[in-house]
Structure 1
Amino acid sequence: MMKDKMKIAALVPMRHHSQRVPGKNYRPLAGRPLYQHILDTLLACPEIDDIVVDTDSPEILEGLDRQYPGVIALERPESLRADDIPMNEILLHDTAQVQADLYLQTHSTNPLLRAETISNAIQALVSSYPAFDSLFSATRLQTRLWDELTRPINHNPAILLQTQDLPPVYEENSCIYIFTRENLLRRRNRLGDRPLMFKMEADESWDIDEEIDFLIADAILSQRLK
């Protein structure tokens, strides 16, 4: 298979309800429903062939039908709507509905993610496939980390280095995953045997999980859009 001919589908799961930030996926952020920001970002990526939204939200389904007719809408089955359903089971369902060589998964809760960054991630994996068989995005941390037993993880407390001189560690930030259905079926995991870590900037990796995250993302995006 020619690398430049690989079909790529973007998967964006969106729940109707949210425990910590009620209605966050369709709540207005920077003047528009939250979910619209990631869809517009994905639409600006020329490498992506299909965009697929898996949701149980009547409001989002109606919005997709009205404003995003080119986006594939999958209504999530009742059997996959419980809070304790693993994301990998939802992805297995979605990848069975839409054929692609590679699947990119992101979230509506990553509204600060830029199209250029997504394109760069796709190109990074495609250019190194199959030496690397999957990709995940990560954010560099240079700060003093401790475990719950008060043991230093990445520094020697007896040597007070400036934080910028500490050896970096990397946090999996859940912004971008790229994988094949074959690996998802075999491992029940988005990461294959040889994942590529894609490093990205912290200002794009903000994930909306709490109310304070929503307020900060709204302020940052509103300023960016000006």
Structure 2
Amino acid sequence: MKHELVALMPMRHSSERVPGKNYRAFGDGRPLYQHVLDVLLACKAIEKVVIDTDSPIIAEQCAESYPSVVLIDRPPHLVDGTTPMNEVLLHDMDQVPSRFYLQTHSTNPLITAATIDSAVETFLKNYPNYDSLFSVTAHQTRLWDQLCRPINHNANILLRTQDLPPLYEENSCLYIFGDDTLRESRNRLGRRPYMFEMSPWEAVDIDEEINFRIAEVVYRERAEGRLKP
């Protein structure tokens, strides 16, 4: 059966900069990946959630606690950390056919179901004028390149940072694309991608230990009702 929208969340067992981060306890004590998994399962437009992993820990926990989730054993030739994510996604798409796919990471634990639902709605409303969508975070600050050249401002005109034209960071939280988009271009981003702006409060991506610690602070303050983004 071919689905309309499938969510893909690939996870490796090992991680170099934050060891074991995908299944490390986060916030309320649940493993990090379960925070995003629970959000995906709460999204109304997602028909099926797929986890691709080489982790026996994650596979065992999911099989026990999330029977509706499709588990894919990542083959050895795709396990290396240098393997392009697009190759992993192509493998997963062959296992679970769908018209559209949403891909996220377990390392975005602050993202909400409301934001994902909004991204899906935005994508479907604008498709096919925009053939893919990716989430971004806006930045208004003075940026320079490695040769000390201003990137987004005139150094001789000292504008307030809030008056600078924003630049957008691809924050790795969300990608939505069609089956044909990735197969034809071998890229999640098509020829006409839509930039979906997210709140920076939700866009923390855990790459380093400092990201983990900051995300936990935000998570706990939000859970206690002390944070009103």
TM-score normalized by structure 1? 0.96
The match for 1:119 is 117
The match for 2:152 is 154
Letter in 1 for 2:198: M
- CA distance, structure 2, for counterparts of residue 32 and residue 46 of structure 1: 23
Give structure 1 regions of 4+ aligned residues with deviation exceeding 3 angstroms: none
Match for residue 39 of structure 2 among 22, 38, 41: 41
- CA distance, structure 1, for counterparts of residue 67 and residue 144 of structure 2: 48
Give the number of aligned pairs. 221
Letter in 1 for 2:4: K
TM-score normalized by structure 2? 0.95
The match for 1:8 is 5
- CA distance, structure 2, for counterparts of residue 109 and residue 25 of structure 1: 7
- CA distance, structure 2, for counterparts of residue 114 and residue 193 of structure 1: 28
- After superposition, what is the alpha-carbon deviation per residue over 1:133-172, rounded to whole angstroms, capped at 9, x for unaligned? 1001101000001011100000011111110011111111
- 2:102 is the counterpart of 1:104: yes
Q: Secondary structure at the match of 1:204?
A: coil
- After superposition, what is the alpha-carbon deviation per residue over 1:11-50, rounded to whole angstroms, capped at 9, x for unaligned? 0011100000000000000111000000011111100001
Give the C-alpha shift of residue 192 in structure 1: 0.8
Structure 2's unaligned 5+ residue stretches are 225-229
The match for 1:163 is 161
The match for 1:27 is 24
Query: Which structure 2 residues correspond to residues 46-61 of structure 1 after superposition, within 5 A?
Result: 46-61=44-59
- CA distance, structure 1, for counterparts of residue 59 and residue 183 of structure 2: 28
Percent sequence identity is: 58
- CA distance, structure 2, for counterparts of residue 32 and residue 222 of structure 1: 13
